[in-house]
Amino acid sequence: MIEIRNLNKTYQMGSVKVEALRKTSLKIAAGEFVAIMGASGSGKSTLMHVLGLLDRPDSGEFLLEGEDMTKLSDKELALVRNQLVGFVFQQFHLLPRMTALENAQLPLIYAGRKHLKDRAIKEITEVGLKDRMLHKPNEMSGGQQQRVAIARSLVNDPPIILADEPTGNLDTKSKEEIVAILKKLNQKGKTIIIVTHEPEIAAHCRRIIYMRDGQIISDQANAQALGPGQGSFQETPVKDILSNAKKSFSARMELFDYFRQALFAMMSHKMRSFLSILGVLIGVAAVVAMLAIGQGAKESIEKQLSSLGSNLLIVRSGAPMSGGVALEAGAATRLRTKDVSAIKDLKEYVYSASPSVSSRAQAVFGNKNWNTRVEGVDVEYERIRASTPTSGRFFTAQEVKQRDKVALLGTTVLKELFGDTDPLGQTIKINAINFKVIGVLPAKGSMGPSDQNDIIIIPITTAMYRVLGKQYLDSIYVEAKDADLIDETQRAIVRLMIKEHRLRTDEQKDSFQIRNMADIKNTLTATTKTMSLLLGAIAAISLLVGGIGIMNIMLVSVTERTREIGLRKAIGANNTDIMIQFLIEAVLMSLLGGISGVALGVGASILITSIAGWAAKVSVFSIALSVVFSLFIGVVFGLWPARQASKLDPITALRYE
């Protein structure tokens, strides 16, 4: 069954080379019960590890059922270990967070036979632990833990059982029980190979091999031992097993099992996992809250900009300089009503236009008074400045023509003069002149120190000739036909004003001004976008720090669980299995941190809105971005530790202290 020819294995111990095996040759038939003995450093454990496919020889041949094991890949070796070899270790190597039954089941998981749970129960029962199968290792004696290890080695029904000092840490009674179990297994046809330094244990074996300095010095039959195994033995076709190694890992171990193993690892180190999750949680919460603030600010600005009106241009008279001193606005060019008519005639570019005059005035209602801005406009103002009343109506062209004394109130004036009283139909005094309130303007917010709601709108003719006594216009509101025509409309108005007022081209700058609200809107929008990106970048940095924290924790986890990784590889896990398990563990922590961070970020946004009064709006995009980014963090920062774990050599990992 087993044949080795001229095996050599050398270890580098610092600057010293130690020859653990030197041209070692050996044959073991199926169903034998063999003891390998020798002093410490004789090479017996190294030989055991090579026979168990945990270590590779430097040279020589190792044939298992005629197949050369030295030429197999790590993945193929893992599959052969899983199905042909069962290990019983001196240190038991049970996973402390799992029950006896779950420990016994591990080889089934890596073999893709998880559904054969009854087989694990059967083996646990066979070793006399039926009533202890749901207990964890720290609730068992040394002898009971070794029985669990034996049950684990048998669960895939391997033909070969390798026991490395299986009784070294046990009392006399437990030793006898373990030896009895091994003898019973041999009688059933299992090939048993024991490494021991105890003659009384070797006395139970039919064949005793002695080693010294990496060589076999004696190989004798033990006539006093029991006869050969009574059970029938059927060889496992190694070729069939190796053909399975070409299948994807999903054919062996289900994704759910990876998640389950990762969850076990997280739950066994709750504080460490919590700290990792906390780093991502804070980062994601910061991203969600920051983006919500940025989005809220953007929408708030857009709302205020929309109140200015669409496709808006404002023509104002200039303020020329005289000796470095700015003169009164309009001292050079007076805007006239016929300018409004001329601008309206630019039908290729202009949709409508409205004249405007304004000044401060005292408004009085009953025993309340308020100093506010009074603006006289035409009927087109309603559409141009998005000023359709929320209650009441706008004045008509007929009322403008008749210079009627009607007024619309901004929300600030409404609050100061009327409070909760309905103003419609009421009479107020503006500069001691009675006006009838016919409507309430929509709320428009503030533009810097100026409150757009602190205003009273009256007909342009009434303002010029009855209230403010102005003969010229202060400004003209112009609505372009299309947003794409804003710049062309502005140039057309400039040409028109130069022509109408007979100005030189170099006088245009000081004679009148045209304010393009689209430019202001674009500037504010760009500023808001930049602010959002800045806030998001700051939050992303905190998320990045959380990812680095996960990587550090996972690297520590790899170090702490080195022996566990060695055990998993010994019972059949390949490099891919180990890497996926650790990677899923990192992704799970990132995902939990991401989901919790989203909840915290949404809560923080609501709190900011209610306490600070800032506009904060959580978008689906920011939530999706945060969750996806947290998953990305888990993959990126978990990949390196996962690769480090998967590259560990099984025997080196098992010996790690």
Q: Say if residue 251's pLDDT is above 50.
A: no
Q: Once rounded to an integer, what is the mean pLDDT over residues 255-278?
A: 76
Q: Tens digits of per-residue pLDDT, 435-457?
A: 999 999 998 766 556 788 899 99
> Region 101-125: what's the mean pLDDT?
81
pLDDT beyond 60 at 216: yes
A 10 A CB-CB count for 413 gives 27
pLDDT of residue 322 exceeding 70: no
75 has pLDDT over 90: no
Backbone angles phi, psi at 248, to 5 degrees: -70, 160
Compute the 3-state secondary structure of the chain and give helix, strand, coil in percent, each to the nearest 5. 50, 20, 30
Q: Choose among 579, 572, 558: nearest CA to 650.
A: 572
Task: Give me the DSSP letters along 540-563.
Answer: HHHHHHHHHHHHHHHHHHHHHTHH
Mean pLDDT of 111-133: 81
Question: In this prediction, what percent of the chain has a pLDDT beyond 70?
Answer: 85
- Report the share of the chain in percent with pLDDT over 90: 19
**Mean pLDDT of all residues in 135-163:** 87
- Say whether pLDDT at 177 is over 80: yes
Structure tokens belonging to residue 221: 């039959």
d(CA 342, CA 453): 31
Confidence of residue 326 (pLDDT cuts 50, 70, 90): very low
User: Is the model's pLDDT at 136 over the cut of 50?
Assistant: yes
Task: Report, as an integer, the average pLDDT of 401-413.
Answer: 94
SS3 per-residue string spanning 368-380: EEEEEEEEEECCC
Q: What is the pLDDT of residues 532-573, one digit of tens each?
A: 677 767 767 776 777 777 777 777 777 777 888 888 888 888
pLDDT for 329 equals: 44
In this prediction, residue 302 has a pLDDT band, given cuts at 50, 70 and 90, of: low
Q: Is 134 exposed, middle or buried (0-12, 13-18, 19+ CB in 10 A)?
A: exposed
Tokens of 439: 């409507």
Q: Can you tell me the distance from the alpha carbon of 344 to that of 350, in angstroms, rounded to the nearest whole number? A: 6
Strands 312-317, 512-516: pairing kind: antiparallel
Query: The pTM is what?
Result: 0.60
**Chain CA centroid to CA 373, Å:** 53
For 11, the token pair is 């270890």
What is the pLDDT confidence band of residue 520, given thresholds at 50, 70 and 90?
low
Nearest to 571 by CA among 653, 644, 641, 657: 653
Q: Of the candidates 316, 438, 321, 457, which has an alpha carbon nearest to the alpha carbon of residue 385?
A: 457
Greater pLDDT, 508 or 369: 369
Angle at alpha carbon of residue 391, lines to 388 and 394, rounded to 5°: 45
| Pairwise pLDDT comparison (252 vs 647), residue with the higher score | 647
For residue 506, the model assigns a pLDDT of 62
Q: Please indicate whether residue 178 or residue 408 has the higher confidence score (pLDDT).
A: 408
By three-state DSSP, how is residue 210 classified?
strand
Among candidate residues 29, 82, 92, the one with its CA nearest the CA of residue 54:
82
Average pLDDT, the chain: 81
DSSP conformation letters of 351-398: EEEEEEEEEEEEEEETTEEEEEEEEEE-TTHHHHTT---SEE-PPPHH
In this predicted structure, what is the pLDDT of residue 168?
A: 77
Right CATH for 2-249 from 3.40.309.10, 3.40.50.720, 3.30.365.10, 3.40.50.300: 3.40.50.300
User: Would strands 312-317 and 191-195 be described as parallel, antiparallel, or unpaired?
Assistant: unpaired
The kind and range of the H/E element at 633 are helix 620-646
Name the band, by pLDDT with cuts 50, 70 and 90, for residue 405: very high
State both tokens at 624.
């999706």
Mean predicted confidence (pLDDT) in 264-290: 79
CA–CA distance, 319 with 397 (Å, rounded to integer):
32
Per-residue pLDDT band at 232 (split at 50, 70, 90) = very low
pLDDT of 105 > 70? The answer is yes
Highest mean predicted confidence (pLDDT) among 104-118, 148-162, 349-363, 609-623: 349-363
**pLDDT of amino acid 234:** 47
Q: What distances in angstroms separate CA 335 from CA 353, 396, 489, one per listed residue? A: 13, 23, 18
Task: Determine phi and psi for 530, rounding to 5 degrees.
Answer: -60, -40
What's residue 233's pLDDT?
43
Q: Strand pairing of 475-480 and 350-365?
A: antiparallel
CB neighbours (10 Å) of residue 477?
Answer: 24
* pLDDT tens digits, 376-392: 999 999 988 888 999 99
The amino acid that residue 560 corresponds to is: E
Alpha-carbon gap, residue 395 to 296, rounded angstroms: 35
Reading the block at residue 648, the tokens are 């560990």
pLDDT of residue 518: 63
Domain ranges across the chain:
2-249, 265-303+523-654, 334-502
Instruction: List the single range of 425-434, 477-486, 504-513 with lowest mean pLDDT.
Output: 504-513
For 582-626, write each residue's pLDDT tens digit: 888 888 888 888 888 888 888 888 887 777 666 677 778 778 877
Per-residue pLDDT averaged across 368-377, rounded? 94
Most confident of the ranges 21-35, 289-303, 393-407, 509-523: 393-407
Which residues face 473 on adjacent strands?
Answer: 335
* Contact in structure between 340 and 433 (CB atoms under 8 Å): no
Tokens of 308: 């200015």
Comparing CA positions, the residue from 62, 2, 59 lying closest to residue 27 is 2
**What does the pLDDT read at residue 325?**
47
Residue-level pLDDT at 231: 39
**525 versus 432: which is more confidently predicted?**
432
Average pLDDT in the 471-496 region? 87
pLDDT at 330: 44
